[in-house]
Amino acid sequence: MKYDELLKKESQKKGRSKPRHIESQIQVQMVKWFRLRYPHYIIAAIPNGGQRSALEAKIMKGEGVLAGFSDLIIIAKGNVLFVEVKTKSGYQSDLQAKFQSDVERLGFQYSICRSLDEFILTIEKWIKDKFSV
């Protein structure tokens, strides 16, 4: 399935309510913890979600916004980790699953984290695997 087809399929889904505020709270905790624990590495949010006007969406798409991009990106010592934040019952959209597949095909790691504890375990393992001598 091509990217444009996936985008069209996503836009046709009926009013799936997404608990963004809960995901947001989890993500805020993750970012705070990471910046305290690893201030010498980079963590950044990719603000893809949310409602936008058609004009705003068109402008953002032209600027390079990519639907399905992970919520967080972590950059450390020549390595990149993509993190998707979900609630306990949350699930990936088709576009998010495609992004994960594309990222992993390119040799990068992608993780779905549903809590601060899961994020901490993921980060500590990633750092140990990538950087321990």
| Radius of gyration, alpha carbons of the chain | 16
User: What does the pLDDT look like over 88-133, one tens digit per residue?
Assistant: 999 999 999 999 999 999 999 999 999 999 999 999 999 999 887 5
Whether 12 shows a pLDDT value over 80: the answer reads: no
Q: Classify strands 109-113 and 79-85 as parallel, antiparallel or unpaired.
A: parallel
pTM (predicted TM-score): 0.81
Whether 2 shows a pLDDT value over 90: the answer reads: no
% residues pLDDT > 90 (the chain) = 64
Instruction: Take residue 122 and report the two structure tokens written for it.
Output: 């993921």
What is the structure's pLDDT at 38? 97
Residue tagged 């963004």 (tokens): 20
What is the structure's pLDDT at 104? 98
**Orientation angle between helical segments 20-37 and 116-131, nearest 10 degrees:** 40
What is the structure's pLDDT at 36? 98
Domain definitions of the chain by residue range = 18-131
User: What does the pLDDT look like over 47-58, one tens digit per residue?
Assistant: 877 677 888 888
Q: Strands, DSSP E only, in the chain?
A: 42-45, 72-76, 79-85, 109-113
What is the structure's pLDDT at 71? 96
Region of 75 (left: φ > 0; alpha: ψ -120 to 50; beta: rest) is beta
3-class SS at 9? Answer: helix
Cα 35 from Cα 87, distance rounded (Å): 22
Class of domain 18-131: alpha beta
User: What does pLDDT average to over the chain?
Assistant: 87
3-class SS at 17? Answer: coil
Of 2-6, 24-28, 37-41, 97-101, the poorest mean pLDDT is in 2-6
**Contact by Cβ (8 Å): 85, 58:** no
